[in-house]
Structure 1
Amino acid sequence: MQTTTQSTENSQSLRGEALGVLASLTGAENPQFHKGQYEAIETLVQGRRRALVVQRTGWGKSAVYFIATLLLRRRGAGPTLLVSPLLSLMRDQVSAAARAGVRAVAINSANAHEWDAARESLARDEVDVLLVSPERLNNPRFRDEQLPDLLNRIGMLVVDEAHCISDWGHDFRPDYRRIAELIERLPQDLPVLATTATANARVVTDIEEQLGGSSVVTIRGSLARASLRLGVLNLPNSKDRLAWLLSHIAELNGSGIIYTLTVSAAEDTARLLRDAGHNVRAYTGRTDTDEREESERMLKDNELKALVATSALGMGFDKPDLGFVVHLGAPSSPVAYYQQVGRAGRGTDRADVLLLPGREDQEIWHYFATASMPDEERAQAVLAALSDVPLSTPALEARVNIRRTPLELLLKVLDVDGAVHRVQGGWVSTGQPWRYDAERYDRIRQARVNEQNSMIEYQRTGECRMATLQRDLDDGTASPCGRCDRCTEPWYPSGVSGEAVSAAASSLDRVSVEIESRRQWPTGADQLGVLLDGSPVRGKIKPERQLEPGRAIARLTDLGWGNTLRELFAPGVPDAPVSEALLGACVRVLAEWGWRERPVAIVSVPSRSRPQLVTSVAAGLARVGKLPYLGQLSLVGEGPRGSSGGNIAYRLAGVWGSLAVGADLAGAIADVGAGPILLVDDRVDSRWTITVAGGLLRDAGASAVLPFALAVTA
């Protein structure tokens, strides 16, 4: 057994060695660890224990695991396995590792061409850190063929952004829950490190339990960010918020990030700012990988004033001199907000952080709060459809009425719960009993509501903004920052120029989004009884039944007309004829359409919920365009079945056979002669209603069908 003197000498020797690595990492002649950094390294390298580090963004959590990795490697340990949640984060981590002299490689969905080289480097023991996504842990080939050998070799496991482990974390991801199972398979003396900057006491406790309970060493520091100057500016509407940006973006310090809550808002805002001469780009979940990488590089090199981003640009994006973060709309919790504003001021003395909340924020919060929660009825439907014969996700989609993205999320939850298993070729049932934990999900839902209320309180508080955020993360060191708009006077201008207001209003008043026409029948539709001329539908839709690309005024998520349309389609709003303003927007869409051939007549889709609205739009467009309104298609039986939210095969089956071209309408189509028909509906979601209706019109003699709707739901 070591004596106290020997232990002290070993610790001093380790500190000296760690400082040497830190000097190489930072290039400093006399480097010093931040409080808690060396303690974490010592826990991992000398104590060979499990540690949780909760420290503010920019504190140096990556330095802990890079230094610990090199020290463990010198002692004969194998490579570190680092579980990292985002591709952008992985890219930054690989670059940072190279600067530190750490040989790091990543295996993820964006670099499949590099996988073989990475495996060969691992086999030659030329890799110090292997980065993988949590989803990779359940890839059948990686999980069954490569992970067992890797777990026998690794010298340390690192879980970055570990709040994702927890149901209670603001960015919970089901695949992260597998890590608890992974940890159970590891020897007790294999070092494990979990790191995060965004964990309140409830999340910390949850992570500690998953890491091993009372044996975990938790190192938690103050989350105060001395460089951040926080503020909240309440403006009446989207127009004023955009006008504020137009008026003042040039005055914001350096380059930064403008966060929005939806993809549409990011794209609209970026377009407006570019039209005004500002060098910005949109960065969303719809942005392809190459463009994301280029945009990240341009922002880091200060070639852009800003990225206008959704939460797709969040964890791990590392630009030490990022000068500002502005939010157009508030995230749903102070924890998520702290994580995003933490991108700013990591290596500077001052960075400005401004929140411009919107009245639509709470509607968006509600959608995202419920989207990740499993539904018992849907879960049981999935379990009933699975057996010991693998089913691919598309094949399963044809058996359960769940859209692809929520279906994949539900499968992950059921997989982590042990009820299903992913194998080569798809998913199988494990046969294990599964119980819907209603109490647990109710607690999580209530926690989400509490977080939303806290975010509202952050906006309204008369106390220090930074201290309020710290308290929401259960940081006991909270004290007034002396810099925010509550500790001092508002540091930001509140006025906007008339020219900016006009430009914003003009941008928000833009109309017309494309309705992409369906070209392919959905997989599994034939199994749901969708037959055409007695044969099941498969593959491509025949050209003679296809529609032309259509148009709508706006998406429901758009900033401008989207607000008007959301109010129009809100639950409980009674049916009524179209307003003159909305009809005027419809006319503008048609005037800007640029179709190859002008329609010769108008037909509408029958609506059970808004018959006055749809009929008045069709009749109004006919009147203005001096076109004949031929009436509407007929409902067969009760008409289309189902509601928004189901998958496309079920949506098609719900419409199929429910519409018809009546004799009077068929005669009217014949009377107007050859030419396109404008098909009017209130809104489109899956696009199968207009596709089926348009196909019937083509069968009735229309040479082409031009779909038109007030709104696109997504």
Structure 2
Amino acid sequence: MDEMNGGGLRAQATTVLRRLVGRDDAEFHDGQYEAIEALVEGGRRALVVQRTGWGKSAVYFVASLLLRSRGAGPTLIVSPLLALMRDQVAAAERAGVRAEAINSANAVQWGEVIAKLEADEVDVLLVSPERLNNPAFREQQLPELIKRMGLLVIDEAHCISDWGHDFRPDYRRIKDLIMALPDAVPVLATTATANARVVADVQEQLAAGGAEVFTLRGPLARKSLRLGVLRLPGPRAQLGWLLTHLGDLPGSGIIYTLTVSAAEDIARLLREAGHNVLAYTGRTDTEERARAEQALKGNEVKALIATSALGMGFDKPDLGFVVHVGAPSSPVAYYQQVGRAGRGTDNADVLLLPGTEDREIWRYFATSSMPDAERALAVLGELEAAGTAVSVPALEARVNVRRSPLELLLKVLAVDGAVERVQGGWIRTNEPWSYDARRYARVAAARVAEQDSMIEYETTAGCRMEFLSRALDDPDAAPCGRCDNCAGPWFAASIDDGAASSAQAALGRVGVELEPRLMWPGGMDRLGVPLKGKLKPEQQATTGRALARLTDLGWGGRLRTLLSENGGEPDAPIEQGMLQACVQVLANWGWSERPVAVVSMPSRSRPALVSSFARGIAEIGRLPYLGELAYGNGGPRGESGGNSAFRLAAVWGQLQVPAEMAQQLAGAPGPVLLIDDRVDSRWTATEAARVLREAGAPGVLPFVLAIAG
């Protein structure tokens, strides 16, 4: 690092920058050097809010190498996503920065990374915010890192703020990390998506201990982006437009969807039409995600059809377009996703195809990161009563909260200091905790306002880039002169007849596998239910079918409207079109043994729908309808929802096989179809299959209209 020892700081920093980017004429963008100077010479805490592509990573890589040349320890970068970490490590290595990561995808390499840290052979270490709460990392590696750390970087710092669109509870823990650092260690927080309220929240946390925060904020408008909105009448038209015009879009890009099912359906349809695309969702495993990212970066595919799983930090400078089929729930989230495009090019196209059901989908997926008072107190009570560490699976059997919401709730409570993660699980601390209802209500109201603002973006007659910039409280917001409102629509709205027919056929596809439960939930004995381990083969259902998932593009929309838990439609016999679609599911089933009879679930909310569904299938299939199961002992206990253990406990022992049905099942030559309107946890269907099998049915084939989720 001899080249860093001569000249003033600016000369040294410029030398490092040119080595990083591989260009002898490279110069700093406005603000980059000022941020580096604040960190390296001032040892300050800095917040940098700059548009995507401005070069925030150059700031922390240059600062890291300059600090290392002065004898400082490694830089710790807190980064939220594996994709982002992969890109950052790759960028660092290209620039000669020795970078390593510790995350869930490289656990086998942790020992090597730690050995390199101990040998002072690491310039930059990337960790996830969740790693900061890992007991082994927090107790064994983090204290030593804090002693030696040369610079702390919080990437995508808007995640710190629960006012932000992508709040991550573990990010709040960074405030504690900052408090633990020696005063001389500089701290850098970076983001491209923070409005004034989020900036203030992040500044407050960076200032922990009374330090002053240097904030550098630049204009957020992206001159390379050409924005547009095309309102189409529904999914058929959206799919038809993609089939007609995907090939017209420049280069390769991303097509975002709101649901996993939509991404998979659109990817399948486009592939069948000859387009080279891949799906990228939360169901895509880690290795496949990495391959898909590389395929897009190498222009080996036209597009990734992605959910928000492909988000922060994905770096392809020449990404040519971003299309949204359905809108994100806030302009800030939308700005961040479209910011993937046009980083290193003069032109990129961004088009929003709003969905007619966007608001409904936003509500359907609304998972608040704010704790529910009743559930939080229940969790705290159980941990306090235990007096020792309780694992999440064990806690799940004591409180009626599903695994993912329970883990999120524990993180929020940990940030508040009420619980702590230790080896073996979670414990209750001595910190008092009270529910801050006023704050949580304000946050919830802010998120509703963001949804309203997204609708306003879709319908505005003004400049779209200016609108997004104002949503981020950018004082430099101004008309772009390029969007469809400034310069006129740049996209065609036509849809080929053949594309429309293909879209209609795709949306009409039916049938989703319904996997049976094979293991009882843990902790059932605590709920008075004597079950554990595997279901016996003679108790199990066979793999069933559903007409669709509630999140599917085709039948999913109709089923969401029909079966909405917020009222839905009045109970009525099944529509003939829906019944015929179910008959098509039966025709495509491919079962090993044909059913010999039809049985239905007793329904309190939609008896006419379920009964007519069962009778219709029986009549069309020329099968005897044996009637419906009966509820005993008052029927299912408690409310719907909650985790597996409580869902099973609610129905255990409550379903009965009527005597006449049992007589007909005895000696039945084949399986029976079990009809219901929807499944969620699948425990009601599992319990129904158990009692039917025990009554003599040689097999049970569940068949429902919808799978939730």
Report whether the alignment pairs 1:61 with 2:56.
Answer: yes
Larger mean CA deviation between 546-555 and 638-647 belongs to 638-647
- Which string of whole-angstrom CA distances, capped at 9 and with x for unpartnered residues, describes residues 541-562 of structure 1? 0001111000000000101000
Matches within 5 A, 1:657-672: 657-670=653-666
Partner of 1:330: 327
Distance, in Å, in 2 between the alignment partners of 1:490 and 1:527 is 62
| Contact 1:254 1:305 (8 Å CA) reproduced | yes
Distance, in Å, in 2 between the alignment partners of 1:369 and 1:180 is 27
Amino acid at match of 2:70: R
Partner of 1:208: 203
| Contact 1:644 1:685 (8 Å CA) reproduced | no
Partner of 2:344: 347
Partner of 1:224: 221
TM-score normalised to the size of structure 2? 0.97
Distance, in Å, in 2 between the alignment partners of 1:175 and 1:360 is 32
- Which string of whole-angstrom CA distances, capped at 9 and with x for unpartnered residues, describes residues 305-347 of structure 1? 0000011100000000000000001011111000000000000
Distance, in Å, in 1 between the alignment partners of 2:443 and 2:563 is 29
Report whether the alignment pairs 1:301 with 2:298.
Answer: yes
| Contact 1:484 1:490 (8 Å CA) reproduced | yes
- Which string of whole-angstrom CA distances, capped at 9 and with x for unpartnered residues, describes residues 677-705 of structure 1? 11101100010111111111111111111
Offset of 1:11 from its aligned partner?
A: 12
Matches within 5 A, 1:305-316: 305-316=302-313
2:34 to 39, 45, 57: 39
Partner of 2:391: 392
Offset of 1:12 from its aligned partner?
A: 7.0
Distance, in Å, in 1 between the alignment partners of 2:640 and 2:462 is 43
| Contact 1:674 1:701 (8 Å CA) reproduced | no
Distance, in Å, in 1 between the alignment partners of 2:264 and 2:639 is 28
Distance, in Å, in 2 between the alignment partners of 1:50 and 1:371 is 30
| Contact 1:371 1:406 (8 Å CA) reproduced | no
2:285 to 279, 285, 288: 288
Question: Secondary structure of 1:603's match?
Answer: strand
1:382 to 379, 384, 387: 379
TM-score normalised to the size of structure 1? 0.97
Amino acid at match of 2:344: G
| Contact 1:369 1:445 (8 Å CA) reproduced | no
Report whether the alignment pairs 1:273 with 2:267.
Answer: no
Partner of 1:450: 449
Amino acid at match of 1:91: R
Distance, in Å, in 1 between the alignment partners of 2:365 and 2:447 is 10
Matches within 5 A, 1:570-609: 570=564, 571-572=566-567, 573-609=569-605
Question: Secondary structure of 2:487's match?
Answer: coil
Matches within 5 A, 1:278-677: 278-387=275-384, 388-530=387-529, 536-570=530-564, 571-572=566-567, 573-670=569-666, 673-677=668-672
Offset of 1:283 from its aligned partner?
A: 0.5
Question: Secondary structure of 1:457's match?
Answer: helix
Distance, in Å, in 1 between the alignment partners of 2:224 and 2:27 is 20
Distance, in Å, in 1 between the alignment partners of 2:22 and 2:300 is 26
Matches within 5 A, 1:57-96: 57-96=52-91
Distance, in Å, in 2 between the alignment partners of 1:366 and 1:675 is 42
> Once the two structures are aligned, what percentage of the paired residues are identical?
68
Distance, in Å, in 2 between the alignment partners of 1:431 and 1:616 is 57
Offset of 1:134 from its aligned partner?
A: 0.2
Partner of 2:149: 154
Distance, in Å, in 1 between the alignment partners of 2:214 and 2:236 is 50
Distance, in Å, in 1 between the alignment partners of 2:631 and 2:596 is 24
Distance, in Å, in 1 between the alignment partners of 2:599 and 2:494 is 48
Question: Secondary structure of 1:158's match?
Answer: strand
Gaps in structure 1 of 5+ consecutive residues: 1-9, 531-535
Offset of 1:214 from its aligned partner?
A: 6.7
Report whether the alignment pairs 1:16 with 2:11.
Answer: yes
Distance, in Å, in 2 between the alignment partners of 1:22 and 1:488 is 38
Amino acid at match of 1:50: R
Question: Secondary structure of 1:557's match?
Answer: coil
Question: Secondary structure of 2:54's match?
Answer: coil
Partner of 2:113: 118
- Which string of whole-angstrom CA distances, capped at 9 and with x for unpartnered residues, describes residues 382-427 of structure 1? 0111033111000000000000000000000001101111000001
Offset of 1:364 from its aligned partner?
A: 2.1
Quickly say closer, same or farther: Cα 1:87–1:243, change in 2 above 3 A: same
Distance, in Å, in 2 between the alignment partners of 1:174 and 1:366 is 21
Distance, in Å, in 1 between the alignment partners of 2:498 and 2:253 is 24
Amino acid at match of 1:457: E
| Contact 1:44 1:50 (8 Å CA) reproduced | yes
| Contact 1:369 1:448 (8 Å CA) reproduced | no
Distance, in Å, in 2 between the alignment partners of 1:548 and 1:347 is 53
Amino acid at match of 1:494: A
Offset of 1:83 from its aligned partner?
A: 0.2
Question: Secondary structure of 2:104's match?
Answer: coil
Amino acid at match of 1:543: P
Offset of 1:526 from its aligned partner?
A: 2.2
- Which string of whole-angstrom CA distances, capped at 9 and with x for unpartnered residues, describes residues 288-312 of structure 1? 0000000000000000100000111
Distance, in Å, in 2 between the alignment partners of 1:121 and 1:84 is 20
Distance, in Å, in 1 between the alignment partners of 2:60 and 2:464 is 31
Distance, in Å, in 1 between the alignment partners of 2:114 and 2:221 is 41
Quickly say closer, same or farther: Cα 1:187–1:413, change in 2 above 3 A: same
Question: Secondary structure of 1:274's match?
Answer: helix
Partner of 1:242: 239
Larger mean CA deviation between 160-169 and 214-223 belongs to 214-223
Larger mean CA deviation between 632-641 and 437-446 belongs to 632-641
Question: Secondary structure of 1:307's match?
Answer: strand
Amino acid at match of 1:699: E
- Which string of whole-angstrom CA distances, capped at 9 and with x for unpartnered residues, describes residues 570-625 of structure 1? 23321111110111111111111000011010000100111111110000001000
Offset of 1:189 from its aligned partner?
A: 2.0
Larger mean CA deviation between 390-399 and 521-530 belongs to 521-530
Amino acid at match of 2:80: P
- Which string of whole-angstrom CA distances, capped at 9 and with x for unpartnered residues, describes residues 31-51 of structure 1? 111000000000000111010
Amino acid at match of 1:385: E
Amino acid at match of 2:449: N
Offset of 1:219 from its aligned partner?
A: 0.4
Amino acid at match of 2:670: G
| Contact 1:208 1:214 (8 Å CA) reproduced | no
Distance, in Å, in 2 between the alignment partners of 1:187 and 1:232 is 50
Amino acid at match of 1:592: N
Amino acid at match of 2:440: Y
Paired positions, count: 699
Distance, in Å, in 2 between the alignment partners of 1:218 and 1:333 is 24
Question: Secondary structure of 2:256's match?
Answer: strand
- Which string of whole-angstrom CA distances, capped at 9 and with x for unpartnered residues, describes residues 3-32 of structure 1? xxxxxxx99710000100111111222111
* Over 4 Å off, 4+ runs: none
| Contact 2:243 2:270 (8 Å CA) reproduced | yes
Gaps in structure 2 of 5+ consecutive residues: none
| Contact 2:45 2:211 (8 Å CA) reproduced | no
Offset of 1:432 from its aligned partner?
A: 1.9
Offset of 1:676 from its aligned partner?
A: 0.6
Amino acid at match of 2:299: N
| Contact 2:668 2:698 (8 Å CA) reproduced | no
CA RMSD between the two structures: 1.2
Distance, in Å, in 1 between the alignment partners of 2:562 and 2:202 is 44
Partner of 2:256: 259
